[in-house]
């Protein structure tokens, strides 16, 4: 509670600063508190003999000034009437501070005084509007930092040191700390650091506390950075003039005592440490030297410009932070001064100092954060000095240091990455990528720390994108993203070893990157829509910058273009390494070099392209050819040697190619170098010749020092002597030459740079070059959460990633690792689908299917139980089907593997038995598209084997009941608990897979994927074999066919896409099957179902669908016979449902052929006739297109002996009834059509009618009397029922010839020739036939009489009558016919006479008809002529009656003759 109260107190003070204490009681309380502190100090002083004795001695001399001042304060405090904040704090602080400063007091007294000051500081007596608070704070700091005391025993000394730390920390933490000047803050830090240093020889506790205080101080100071305004303009200008000489030279801000002496002359800090424990230098060990190196400013480089005095005395801000930060960085440099390069150090080397310094630096960065970039001097410290040290300590053997370095870099990435592009690249290339692989000699611990750090970076969502955009897509940078991704996938691979923590760690990193991509998918801007890059012509692209690095619509195409160029350059480099000339030609061809080569573009190619063979580049640059010399000079011009040491410049220059061996070439190369160097750094050298000579000299020195064959090495004096008078006739400064000499001796210039793209070491010269480059490099692109570049990035890493995750999944044994891998797989699937990378998704599916164990040849006893016990297999199975359901749109060849899994589950009886039928039936519920049946229903019914499919105990329950059943051949034991549990798990797994929805939801699949799924099903079903295939294969084929039909039905809108494949597959089955079996049954009925379902929706496909039914006609006889009835029922159902949708003749032909076949099939004919009835009754569905076909089918039913005669009669009625349709069509045609169309239509109708009567003629010869006679009646009806339409005369002649006469002749043949057994009661039939002839002839007499061939026709009629008159049935004359024929003939003659057709003409040759008629008539009935024409007078009479008769007949004739 106290803390809460205190805080609210602080708040109150902040809010009402003008009255720090509101009540008099508060005043009194503070007075009491100070009084008690005075008492405490005096009490301790009295215990000491020196102070106590003098006080008691009764001398005339007054008390010691320290005691006096304390007592005086005691007198005053209770008499102050004013508010506390109006009282100068110096008054009540000074007595305590005097005690602290006094070197006469012992440690206990000093300690109590320090505690009193601490108490005053922490009680918030001081606030910002207290009088003279600034001076008071300065007094406190000065007194405490120059604290003096006598050391009596180590413990009390440590206590005082602790209290000093406490007070200094309280100063920094108090509200008024903002009043402290830069100078004082530096002093506080310096004092703290000295205590840290001294604590090295003291107790562990003091060491810990000192270090903790230092941390707290740094945190306090740097947490103030965000509040500091950007006002230090003076210092910004100055900061920019600071130049660092080189990495080996420590350029220190003069932090420490000297500074204190300048800024604070009154400090006694550096007095003799006679009796003073605090400033004692007696401590030994590393830290002493550290302290001396740093605090005393013994740097061996140029002193950096310190800040002005007036800046140091202003309230603290950036200047002191720069000083402190610089001091912390210089603590890292100490290691170099001690000659301990981090490469060679071992963990035995005390890692203390660097670790301590790095911890402080980390705190400073955490708190300063993004504000640092507002202060150029701080930023440049981080960019150069700090990062340079981090690069070195990164390679430290100590995992602790490495871990701290990585934490700092991660913080820097978070806050300042935009300012540290090349530094980050260097860190990843030279530290992380080197350490994380064992091949560079890193220990396992180092590898692990580096990998952990990398994974932390990968967990930053935008890290990899930014690496890719800024480095991989920058021509002059390395491919950090690619290298890191490869490193992760390689490190995740367990090669010949068990899975270790390292593998899992790398996997986590990989999956973090992949999941980052997957999360970005929803945020729009998928990169796949970017247009491909095309280079039309060469433009100098090396140093092009983007117009706007913050607008993705600008920078995304820019970096994609750069990446494209970079890739092409790598190919170019490869060509160049094989043949330089062809390589350059290739680059010209791809517009990466201009058509006419110019020196600058070739120089840039050599300078910035990674992977070139440096020997070839060196040979090219050293060549004497004029173009090569120009290229060499341009090449040298790409370097920036501003303010660089000559040896550093030379190292950089010679790193980019191999210096040729011949002296002229070396000369040319060095001339170009010297010219460029002198142009940029003319400080010491008089001219470029001096630079050339000195460069030569350095090369020679380098050979001399580092070539093993040179036994007598050159000394420093030799080197200086060799270089006399080269600087325009004068000597160069000795220390300048000396420095060069030592630099070369220590560090060889490598004239054969390492080839290839290993991860280089960071050398001092490379660092200087990096700092130069970083001024010119392109701006850092900050990525947001949209997926701009993910398509390209994923394309690079997907292959290795899938492989790595798969291998880990394969080796893993723990469920959480499985889950990690599965998450990775799902993320890969999501990205592949969203970026339309079908190949990747297929690869993934292939990998996953292997893990389901479903595709392994089953060697296990009980595969179902094994699957239930295998967690990995079950997880993989669920994942495969999750991917198939979620991302099926983008699966192509992967469907085959998925189907293999489904078929395996099917074989094991693990599929819900109704997967396929559910899938198909779903489309019947199409009114409610959301209604997929839940898989559980089908599981419970799974033990019902599906009809007609021979399946071994199909379904899961069936399988299980086998396991449980005790009455099998061999007695089985009861399943154990474990077996039951395994079964249960298997069940649940299959339920989670939702296998059925792959097919029920196939209507939502994209076309390409759907087509592939259908092809996969056809492929999985296998080619149907003639002969016997194994029941298992047939089962598979049936199942695949069911699924195929299901997806066909589900995708009726896209039937065109699937139809070809489905049809061919069914056709193969139908044509290769010779015996009835489940497969052919499925095929035929599946085909019929497809037609039934799709006809209503796909009019344009109706013909094709119906044509497919012709396959049924191709069935083997045995097969057809077995299924005939069901087929007919299906066809019947099809017709009834879709008659209106069948329009074409072709479609109807298929239907009617199917129906006709059934006419002679005992079981099927009923259904077939039913369908025909449906089409023909009342002409319901008769059309010109199907008329002839239906009549033909009806004829077949009429002739069929299967079933009752009654059905044949009904069939005849259907035929004769159809005439009505003909007259209706004729009527409609006349009303609706143009004349030409009408005549065409009449012609068609005539042909149909002719086919109808021809059909009936055939049935007239039927053996069954009832049918035969009914056929004649029907024929008569059809011949006389044509009032509705006019038939051309020619058609009637055809009709007489082909139908009536033929029928009469055939009937006669039958009557005379066949035994009575076959044909009963022929006489009745003949009579009917005769009547039909007479009736039809008379009806048509008027038209026929007009014809030229009438005579022939009439003779035909007479000759038939004559034959019928004399016919013998069974060898006997008939009774009825001799009576009937003359009567009919008489009637006919009378009508002919009446109509004037039969008259005697006197004209010559005109009466052949008359003659011939009587010739025949007399053969039949001689008496008829006299009866018809008795005598002339009678003739007259008859003539009149004939006329009236004729007029009657003709009166009614128009109704017959005129067509509707």
Spatial contact of 800 and 840, defined as CB atoms under 8 Å apart: no
Q: What separation in angstroms does the CA of 2 have from each of 6, 8, 123, 127?
A: 6, 10, 13, 20
Catalytic site residue from 14, 16, 662, 1435: 662
Spatial contact of 487 and 437, defined as CB atoms under 8 Å apart: yes
Question: Residues 6 or more apart from 270 whose CB is under 8 A from it?
Answer: 257, 260, 261, 279
Spatial contact of 315 and 180, defined as CB atoms under 8 Å apart: yes
Question: Rounded distance, CA 1102 to CA 1151, Å?
Answer: 12
Spatial contact of 1119 and 1074, defined as CB atoms under 8 Å apart: yes
The gap between the terminal CA atoms of the chain, to the nearest Å, is 115
Spatial contact of 1222 and 1284, defined as CB atoms under 8 Å apart: yes
Token couple for 1398: 């039969």
Question: Residues 6 or more apart from 564 whose CB is under 8 A from it?
Answer: 533, 535
Burial of 1079 from C-beta contacts in 10 A (0-12 / 13-18 / 19+): buried
DSSP for 311-328? HHHSBSSHHHHHHHHHHH
Three-state secondary structure of 117-132: HHHHHHCCCCCCCCCC
Question: Rounded distance, CA 1263 to CA 1199, Å?
Answer: 9
Burial of 728 from C-beta contacts in 10 A (0-12 / 13-18 / 19+): exposed
Give me the count of residues in the chain: 1460
Chain mean position to CA 847: 17
Question: Rounded distance, CA 1018 to CA 1039, Å?
Answer: 11
Where helices occur in 1184-1301 by DSSP H, the ranges are 1187-1199, 1205-1217, 1219-1232, 1235-1259, 1265-1280, 1289-1295
Question: Rounded distance, CA 843 to CA 189, Å?
Answer: 61
Question: Rounded distance, CA 82 to CA 98, Å?
Answer: 25
Token couple for 323: 């000083």
Nearest to 329 by CA among 294, 304, 376, 301: 294
Question: Rounded distance, CA 672 to CA 1055, Å?
Answer: 74
Token couple for 1153: 């052929």
Question: Rounded distance, CA 880 to CA 892, Å?
Answer: 14
Question: Rounded distance, CA 636 to CA 625, Å?
Answer: 17
Chain mean position to CA 584: 38
Q: What separation in angstroms does the CA of 236 have from each of 183, 233, 239, 589?
A: 18, 5, 5, 50
Question: Rounded distance, CA 180 to CA 183, Å?
Answer: 8
Q: What are phi and psi of 546, to 5 degrees?
A: -80, 150
**How many Cβ atoms are within 10 Å of 1118's Cβ, its own excluded?**
11
Question: Rounded distance, CA 279 to CA 269, Å?
Answer: 8
Based on the residue annotation, tell me whether 662 is a catalytic residue of this protein: yes
Q: Long-range contacts for 549-553 (Cβ within 8 Å, ≥24 apart)?
A: 549/778, 549/779, 549/780, 549/781, 550/782, 552/525, 552/784, 552/786, 552/788
Question: Residues 6 or more apart from 77 whose CB is under 8 A from it?
Answer: 31, 34, 35, 92
Active-site positions read: 662
């Amino acid at each position: 509670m106290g803390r809460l109260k205190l805080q609210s107190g602080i708040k109150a003070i902040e809010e009402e600063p003008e009255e720090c204490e509101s009540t008099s009681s508060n005043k009194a309380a503070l007075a009491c508190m100070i009084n008690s502190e005075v008492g405490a100090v005096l009490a301790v002083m009295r215990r000491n003999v020196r102070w106590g004795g003098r006080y008691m001695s009764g001398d005339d001399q007054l008390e010691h000034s320290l005691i006096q001042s304390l007592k005086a304060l005691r007198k005053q405090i209770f008499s102050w009437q004013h508010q506390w904040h109006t009282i100068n704090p110096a008054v009540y602080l000074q007595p305590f501070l005097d005690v602290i400063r006094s070197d006469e007091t012992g440690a206990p007294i000093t300690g109590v005084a320090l505690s009193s000051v601490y108490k005053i500081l922490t009680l918030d007596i001081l606030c910002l509007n207290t009088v003279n608070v600034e001076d008071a704070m300065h007094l406190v700091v000065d007194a405490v930092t120059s604290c003096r005391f006598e050391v009596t025993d180590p413990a009390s000394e440590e206590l005082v040191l602790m209290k000093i730390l406490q007070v200094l920390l309280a100063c920094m933490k108090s509200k008024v700390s903002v009043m402290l000047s830069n100078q004082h803050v530096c002093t506080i830090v310096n004092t703290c650091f000295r205590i840290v240093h001294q604590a090295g020889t003291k107790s562990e506790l003091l060491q810990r506390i000192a270090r903790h205080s230092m941390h707290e101080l740094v945190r306090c100071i740097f947490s103030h950075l965000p509040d500091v305004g950007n006002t230090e303009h003076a210092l910004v200008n100055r900061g920019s003039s600071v130049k660092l000489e080189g990495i080996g030279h420590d350029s220190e801000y003069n932090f420490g005592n000297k500074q204190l002496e300048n800024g604070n002359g009154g400090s006694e800090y550096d007095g003799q440490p006679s009796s003073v424990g605090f400033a004692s230098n007696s401590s030994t060990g590393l830290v002493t030297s550290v302290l001396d190196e740093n605090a005393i400013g013994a740097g061996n480089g140029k002193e950096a410009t310190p800040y002005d005095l007036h800046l140091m005395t202003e309230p603290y801000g950036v200047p002191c932070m720069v000083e402190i930060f610089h001091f912390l960085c210089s603590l890292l440099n100490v290691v170099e001064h001690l000659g301990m390069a981090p490469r060679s150090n071992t963990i035995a080397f005390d890692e203390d100092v660097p670790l301590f310094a790095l911890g402080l630096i980390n705190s400073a960065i955490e708190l300063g954060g993004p504000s640092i970039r507002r202060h150029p001097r701080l930023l440049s410290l981080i960019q150069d000095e700090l990062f340079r040290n981090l690069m070195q300590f990164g390679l430290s053997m100590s995992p602790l240091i490495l871990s701290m370095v990585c934490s700092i870099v991660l913080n820097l990435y978070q806050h300042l990455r935009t300012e540290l592009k090349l530094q980050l690249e260097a860190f990843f290339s030279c530290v992380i990528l080197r350490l994380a692989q064992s091949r560079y000699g890193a220990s396992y611990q180092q590898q692990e720390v580096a990998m952990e750090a990398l994974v932390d970076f990968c967990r930053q969502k935008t890290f990899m994108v930014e690496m890719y955009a800024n480095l991989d897509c920058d021509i002059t940078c390395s491919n950090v993203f690619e290298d890191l991704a490869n490193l992760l996938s390689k490190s995740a691979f367990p090669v010949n070893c068990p899975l270790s923590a390292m593998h899992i760690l790398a996997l986590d990193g990989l999956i973090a990157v992949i999941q980052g991509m997957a999360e970005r998918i929803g945020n729009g801007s998928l990169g796949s829509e970017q247009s491909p890059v095309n280079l039309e012509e060469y433009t100098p692209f090396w140093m092009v910058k983007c117009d706007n690095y913050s607008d993705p619509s600008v920078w995304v195409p820019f970096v994609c273009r750069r990446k494209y160029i970079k890739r092409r350059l790598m190919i170019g480099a490869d060509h160049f390494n094989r043949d330089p000339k062809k390589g350059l030609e290739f680059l010209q061809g791809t517009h990466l070099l201009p058509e006419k080569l110019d020196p600058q573009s070739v120089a840039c190619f050599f300078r910035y392209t990674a992977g070139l063979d440096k020997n070839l580049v060196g040979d090219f640059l050293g060549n004497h050819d004029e173009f090569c010399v120009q290229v060499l000079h341009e090449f040298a011009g790409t370097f920036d040697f501003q303010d660089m040491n000559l040896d550093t410049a030379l190292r950089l220059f010679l790193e980019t190619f191999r210096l040729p061996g011949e002296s002229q070439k070396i000369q040319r190369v060095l001339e170009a170098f010297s010219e460029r160097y002198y142009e940029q750094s003319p400080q010491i050298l008089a001219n470029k010749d001096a630079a050339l000579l000195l460069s030569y000299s350095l090369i020679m020195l380098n050979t001399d020092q580092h070539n093993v064959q040179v036994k007598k090495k050159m000394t420093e004096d030799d080197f200086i002597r060799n270089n006399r008078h080269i600087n325009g006739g004068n000597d160069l400064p000795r220390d300048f030459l000396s420095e060069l000499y030592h630099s070369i001796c220590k560090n060889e210039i490598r004239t054969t740079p390492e080839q290839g793209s290993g991860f280089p070491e960071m050398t001092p010269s490379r660092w200087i070059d990096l700092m130069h480059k970083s001024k010119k490099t392109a701006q850092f692109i900050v990525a947001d959460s949209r997926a701009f570049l993910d398509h390209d990035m994923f394309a690079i890493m997907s292959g290795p990633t899938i492989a790595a995750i798969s291998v880990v999944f394969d080796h893993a044994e723990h469920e959480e690792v499985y889950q990690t891998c599965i998450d990775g797989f799902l993320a890969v699937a999501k990205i592949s689908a969203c970026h339309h990378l079908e190949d990747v998704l297929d690869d993934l599916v292939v990998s996953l299917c292997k893990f389901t164990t479903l595709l392994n040849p089953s060697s296990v006893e009980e595969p179902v139980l094994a699957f239930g016990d295998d967690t990995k297999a079950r997880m993989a199975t669920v994942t495969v089907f999750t991917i198939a359901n979620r991302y099926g749109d983008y699966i192509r060849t992967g469907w085959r593997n998925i189907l293999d899994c489904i078929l395996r589950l099917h074989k094991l009886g693990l599929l819900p038995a109704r997967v396929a039928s559910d899938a198909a039936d779903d489309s019947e519920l199409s009114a409610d598209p959301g209604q997929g049946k839940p898989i559980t229903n089908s599981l419970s019914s799974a033990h019902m084997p599906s009809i007609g499919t021979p399946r071994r105990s199909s379904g899961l329950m069936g399988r299980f009941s086998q396991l449980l059943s005790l009455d099998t051949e061999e007695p089985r034991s009861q399943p154990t608990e474990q077996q039951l549990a395994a079964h249960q798990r298997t069940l649940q797994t299959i339920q989670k897979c939702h296998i059925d929805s792959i097919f029920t939801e196939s209507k939502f699949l994209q076309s390409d994927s759907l087509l592939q799924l259908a092809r996969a099903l056809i492929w999985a079903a296998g080619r149907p074999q003639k002969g016997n295939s194994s029941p298992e294969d047939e089962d598979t084929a049936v199942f695949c066919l069911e699924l195929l039909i299901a997806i066909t039905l589900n995708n009726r809108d896209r039937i065109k896409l699937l139809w070809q494949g489905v049809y061919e597959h069914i056709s193969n089955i139908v044509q290769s099957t010779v015996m009835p079996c489940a497969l052919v049954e499925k095929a035929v009925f599946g085909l019929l179902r497809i037609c039934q379902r799709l006809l209503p929706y796909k009019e344009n496909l109706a013909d094709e669908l119906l044509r497919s039914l012709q396959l049924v006609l191709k069935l083997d006889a045995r097969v057809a016979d077995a299924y005939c009835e069901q087929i007919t029922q299906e066809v019947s159902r099809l017709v009834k449902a879709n008659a209106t949708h069948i329009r074409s003749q072709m479609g109807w032909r298929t239907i009617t052929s199917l129906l006709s076949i059934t006419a002679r099939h005992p079981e099927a004919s009923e259904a077939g006739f039913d369908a025909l009835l449906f089409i023909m009754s009342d002409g319901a569905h008769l059309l010109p297109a199907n008329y002839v076909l239906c009549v033909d089918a009806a004829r077949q039913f009429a002739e069929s002996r299967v079933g009752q005669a009654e059905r044949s009669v009904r069939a005849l009625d259907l035929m004769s009834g159809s005439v009505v349709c003909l007259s209706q069509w004729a009527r409609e045609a006349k009303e609706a059509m143009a004349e030409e169309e009408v005549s065409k239509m009449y012609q068609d109708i005539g042909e149909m009618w002719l086919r109808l009567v021809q059909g009936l003629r055939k049935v007239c010869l039927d053996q069954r009397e009832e049918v035969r006679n009914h056929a004649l009646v029907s024929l008569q009806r059809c011949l006389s029922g044509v009032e509705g339409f006019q038939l051309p005369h020619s058609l009637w002649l055809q009709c007489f010839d082909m139908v009536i006469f033929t029928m009469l002749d055939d009937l006669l043949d039958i009557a005379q020739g066949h035994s009575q057994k076959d044909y009963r009661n022929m006489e009745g039939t003949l009579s009917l036939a005769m009547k039909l002839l007479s009736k039809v002839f008379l009806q048509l007499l008027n038209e026929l009489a007009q014809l030229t061939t009438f005579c022939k026709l009439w003779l035909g009629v007479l000759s038939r009558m004559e034959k019928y008159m004399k016919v013998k049935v069974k060898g006997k004359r008939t009774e009825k016919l001799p009576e009937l024929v003359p009567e009919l003939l008489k009637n006919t003659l009378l009508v002919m006479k009446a109509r004037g057709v039969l008259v005697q003409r006197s004209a010559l040759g005109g009466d052949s008809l008359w003659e011939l008629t009587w010739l025949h008539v007399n053969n039949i009935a001689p008496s008829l002529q006299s009866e018809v024409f008795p005598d002339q007078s009678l003739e007259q009479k008859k003539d009149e009656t004939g006329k009236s008769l004729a007029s009657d007949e003709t009166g009614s004739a128009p109704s017959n003759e005129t067509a509707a």
